[in-house]
Structure 1
Amino acid sequence: MRAPLRWVLWDVRDTLVSVLGSAGEQYCKEAEKLGLSLNYAEVDAAFSRVYQDYSSRFPNYGKSQGLTGQIWWMRVVKETLSQCRVQDPDVVNAVANNAYLNFRNATNWEIYPDAKPALERCSSLGLKLGVVSNFDNRLEAILHSCGLLSHFSFVISSEAAGVAKPSPDIFVQALEKCSTSADSVAHVGDHFINDYLASRSAGIHGILLDRRNKHKEADIPQEHRIVSLEQLASRLQQLAQQ
Structure 2
Amino acid sequence: MGYNFVWFDIGYTLLYIKREEPFRTLLAEFGYERSLEEVDRAFHSVAKLFMREYPGVLGRPFEHYLPWYMGFLCNYLDIDGDVFSICVRWKEIWRSFNPLWHPYPQALPTIKKMISMGLGVGIISNWDLSARSVLADAGLLDFINPCIISSEVGFSKPSKEIFNIALEKAGGDAAKSLYIGDNYYDDALGAASVGMDSLIINRFGKFGVEELQGQKLINNVAEVLPFIEKGYK
The 5-angstrom pairing of residues 1-242 of structure 1 reads 4-21=2-19, 99=95, 107-214=99-206, 215=209, 218-221=212-215, 224-239=216-231
| 1:20 shift after superposition | 2.4
Please name the residue that 2:39 is paired with.
none
Residues of 2 paired with 1:115 and 1:57: CA distance?
A: 26
Q: Is the 8 A contact 2:57 2:65 kept in 1?
A: no
| 1:200 shift after superposition | 1.6
| 1:197 shift after superposition | 2.2
Residues of 2 paired with 1:220 and 1:60: CA distance?
A: 25
Please name the residue that 1:65 is paired with.
none
Residues of 2 paired with 1:218 and 1:154: CA distance?
A: 30
TM-score with structure 2 length normalisation? 0.66
Q: CA RMSD in A?
A: 4.4
Output the amino acid matched with 2:9.
Answer: D
Aligned length in residues = 203
Runs of 4+ in 1 over 3 A off after TM superposition: 56-61, 72-77, 215-218
Relative distance call for 1:58 and 1:165 in structure 2 (3 A) is: closer
Give the unaligned 5+ runs of structure 2.
Answer: 33-45, 71-83, 86-91
Larger radius of gyration: 1
Identity %: 25
Output the amino acid matched with 2:11.
Answer: R
Q: Residues 76-113 of structure 1, C-alpha deviation per residue, up to 9 Å, x if partnerless?
A: 79xx9xx76xxxxxxxxxx8xx95xx87x6x2223212
| 1:75 shift after superposition | 6.9
Residues of 2 paired with 1:7 and 1:200: CA distance?
A: 15
TM-score with structure 1 length normalisation? 0.64
What secondary structure, in the 3-state scheme, does the structure 2 residue paired with 1:108 have?
coil
What secondary structure, in the 3-state scheme, does the structure 2 residue paired with 1:203 have?
coil
Residues of 2 paired with 1:226 and 1:116: CA distance?
A: 17
